């Protein structure tokens, strides 16, 4: 953590630590994970009392942006306001990006021991979901290959670009899941993939080539790299049925799109 980030964090702690409306302050984002640059903003989470949270929720005042408190160029503090129930739900069934937000979180202050225990539980990879996720991601990879072939045949640039991006996403997510690594959402996806210990040696290079030069040929190379890496759980009865359940019919049972798993 850089000194100017630490100084800003200390100022925010001083501003909120004596406010009884808040139970805890957590520091997250790139600063907490050691991935910051000199100009990085600072991501924080304030855990409010139930009463304070409900008051803020009613007025949609659950995002606080502080600019006056930063004395470095372009700096600001981005604070999301949660309640303890949010933490409980994130620990129980949070999406991977929701869980990743709490990875390496730093406690600024905390007046409720429940919070510290929950913050430790949230960023644990949900292993009980792993096999079903791998089946879903596998189905998406196979479906996107079909879409890429069709898009290239039709000369449909939008369709091709979309399918290539999704192929890269789900192929990469298969590798992250194999390593029990949380999907961090888009910004840090490639960073986490590069750091995955057990992966095809050339997966990053093949993914970057696919994204820079979208084509059936590059899609085949990337998909083969992923699909031949190990024996993956297979969609039953076939990948198209699973694809439809995850991406076209998920609205029927209230499931989020597979991209948000």
Contact 139, 151 (CB under 8 A): no
Q: How far apart are CA 136 and CA 170, in angstroms?
A: 9
Distances (CA, A) of 146 to 12, 134, 160: 51, 19, 11
Q: Are 25 and 107 in contact (CB under 8 A)?
A: yes
Residue 25 phi/psi, 5° resolution? Answer: -130, 125
pLDDT in tens, 153-184: 999 999 999 999 999 999 999 999 999 999 99
pTM: 0.92
The 8-class DSSP code of residue 260 comes to G
Q: Are 225 and 206 in contact (CB under 8 A)?
A: yes
The 3-state DSSP class for residue 129 equals helix
What is residue 236's predicted lDDT score, i.e. its pLDDT?
78
| 145 class by beta-carbon count within 10 Å (0-12 exposed, 13-18 middle, 19+ buried) | buried
Q: What is the pLDDT of residue 255?
A: 83
Mean pLDDT of the chain: 95
- Measured between alpha carbons, how far is residue 189 from residues 40, 109, 170 in Å? 18, 30, 11
3-state secondary structure 90-149: HHHHCCHHHHHCCCCCEEEEECCHHHHHHHHHCCCCCHHHHHHHHHHHHHHHHHHHHHHH
Determine the pLDDT at residue 131. Answer: 96
Looking at residue 151, its pLDDT comes to 97
Domains of the chain with CATH codes: 3-121 (3.30.460.10), 128-260 (1.20.120)
Between CA 220 and CA 223 the distance in angstroms is 5
The low-confidence residues of the chain, meaning pLDDT below 50, are: none
116's tokens: 């510290």
Model pLDDT, residue 261:
85
Q: Is 9 exposed, middle or buried (0-12, 13-18, 19+ CB in 10 A)?
A: buried
- Residue at token pair 């600063």: 31
């Amino acid at each position: 953590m850089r000194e100017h980030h630490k100084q800003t964090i200390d100022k925010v702690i001083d501003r909120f630590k004596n406010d009884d409306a808040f139970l805890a302050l957590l520091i997250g984002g790139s600063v907490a994970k050691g991935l910051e640059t000199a100009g990085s903003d600072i991501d924080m989470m304030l855990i409010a009392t139930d009463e304070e949270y409900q008051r803020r929720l009613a007025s949609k005042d659950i995002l606080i942006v502080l600019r006056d408190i930063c004395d470095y160029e372009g700096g600001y503090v981005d604070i999301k306001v949660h309640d303890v129930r949010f933490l409980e739900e994130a620990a129980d069934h949070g999406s991977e990006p929701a869980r990743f937000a709490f990875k390496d979180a730093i406690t600024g202050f905390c007046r409720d021991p429940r919070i510290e225990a929950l913050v430790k539980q949230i960023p644990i990879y949900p292993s009980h979901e792993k096999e079903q996720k791998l089946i879903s991601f596998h189905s998406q990879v196979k479906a996107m290959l079909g879409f890429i072939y069709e898009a290239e045949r039709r000369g449909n640039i939008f369709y091709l670009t979309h399918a290539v991006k999704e192929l890269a996403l789900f192929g990469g997510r298969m590798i992250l899941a194999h390593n029990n690594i949380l999907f961090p959402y888009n910004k840090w996806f490639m960073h986490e993939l590069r750091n995955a210990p057990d992966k095809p040696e050339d997966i990053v290079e093949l993914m970057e080539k696919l994204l820079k030069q979208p084509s059936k040929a590059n899609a085949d190379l990337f998909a083969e790299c992923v699909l031949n890496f190990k024996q993956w759980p297979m969609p039953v009865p076939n990948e198209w049925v699973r694809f439809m359940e995850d991406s076209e019919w998920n609205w029927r049972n209230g499931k989020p799109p597979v991209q948000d798993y």
